[in-house]
Structure 1
Amino acid sequence: MLHINPKMLARLEELEADLLDRRARAEVENWIGEIEGIDLTLSFLRAKKDETLRRARRPVVDLGIPRPRASCEEPRA
């Protein structure tokens, strides 16, 4: 699944504004199929934007640097 970088939220806002303009034009022209397509795209875009905002609010977890385990080949008694 594609994750959006939070730095790109401004671009998502631009895309949403453009889609809203296109939807208004489609309503004026009575392009029913186009309106449905734009509505679907808007719902996906808004869901992706909400997901990105949720992910940006989560704290970063430091997992550290992996280190090799102690010798695994020690003979067992």
Structure 2
Amino acid sequence: MHWPDPVQRARIVDIRDNIIARIAAAEREGWLGEAEGLQITLAGANDKLAQIDRRVPRTVDLPMPTATTGPRGRLSGPGERVRP
């Protein structure tokens, strides 16, 4: 399957908006077949946007782990108490 490039998202939004305007014009002129065909094209553009949105990597900001030094310079492990 070919995935749309996330960099192209803004371009696809512009195309989708243009299709919506063309559907409105076709309906205004009574071109029902044209409007129906454009509805299929609109569904394809919306599908591409949904694919991009699903693939955008979600990042989680995790804090950097730190090591604490216990007695005699030994690192303490999880659940261990560091005694002074």
Deviations 1:13-46 (A, max 9, x none): 1001110110111011110110111100111110
Distance in 2 (CA, whole Å) between partners of 1:57 and 1:24 is 35
Cα RMSD, aligned residues only: 1.3
Q: Secondary structure at the match of 1:57?
A: coil
Percent identity, aligned pairs only, is 34
TM-score, length basis structure 1 = 0.70
Alignment partner of 1:9 is 2:9: yes
Higher relative contact order (CA 8 A, sep 6+): 1
- 2:24 corresponding residue in structure 1: 24
| Residue identity in the other structure for 1:47 | D
Matched length: 59
**Displaced runs of 4+ in structure 1, greater than 6 A?**
none
Q: Which one has a bigger Cα radius of gyration?
A: 2
Distance in 2 (CA, whole Å) between partners of 1:3 and 1:58 is 17
Distance in 1 (CA, whole Å) between partners of 2:34 and 2:55 is 31
The answer for unaligned runs of 5 or more in structure 2 is 60-84
TM-score, length basis structure 2 = 0.65
Structure richer in helix, relative to its length: 1
Distance in 1 (CA, whole Å) between partners of 2:6 and 2:44 is 16
